[in-house]
Amino acid sequence: MKTPAKIVIVLLVVGAAAAAIVLRDNKSRNVANSSPPVAATTAESSAAAASEASAKLPKLLDLGATKCIPCKMMAPILEELKKEYVGKMNVEFIDVWQNEDAGKKYGVEMIPTQIFFDANGKELFRHTGFFGKEDILAKWKELGVNL
């Protein structure tokens, strides 16, 4: 394995571990403080409303954070999928550091987490960590969803 590849792998592992620690700390802090729920940002609310308003389509939900390294690596992939598969699949991103309730709702323990839903909203598969575009498309095919 080449040195740059090793560096990328190490960065991914470090980023994932840091994200897990932050999520765990935030979860325990929220339980201790019994703080009120954090509202979704306007962009996230708009995206959620748009995805619900669209026709029944399979959905890829990515739960992460804009400051998490593996999540940053996922962002362009999600944008590509969103553009290339308009009308065939919904792609949604939720920043669980800004919207902790979403992380709780989906039982996220580590970020990024991708959840694959069928057209009826049933969870088909869940993956944690970086997930490449080809891997995502192969997983949809494996799940029997033709995009």
Residues annotated catalytic, as ranges: 68, 71
- Report which of 12, 104, 100, 113 is spatially closest to residue 61, judged by C-alpha positions: 113
List b or e across 48-76, with b for residues whose CB sees 16 or more CB atoms inside 10 angstroms: eeeeeeeeebbbbbbbbbeebbbbebbee
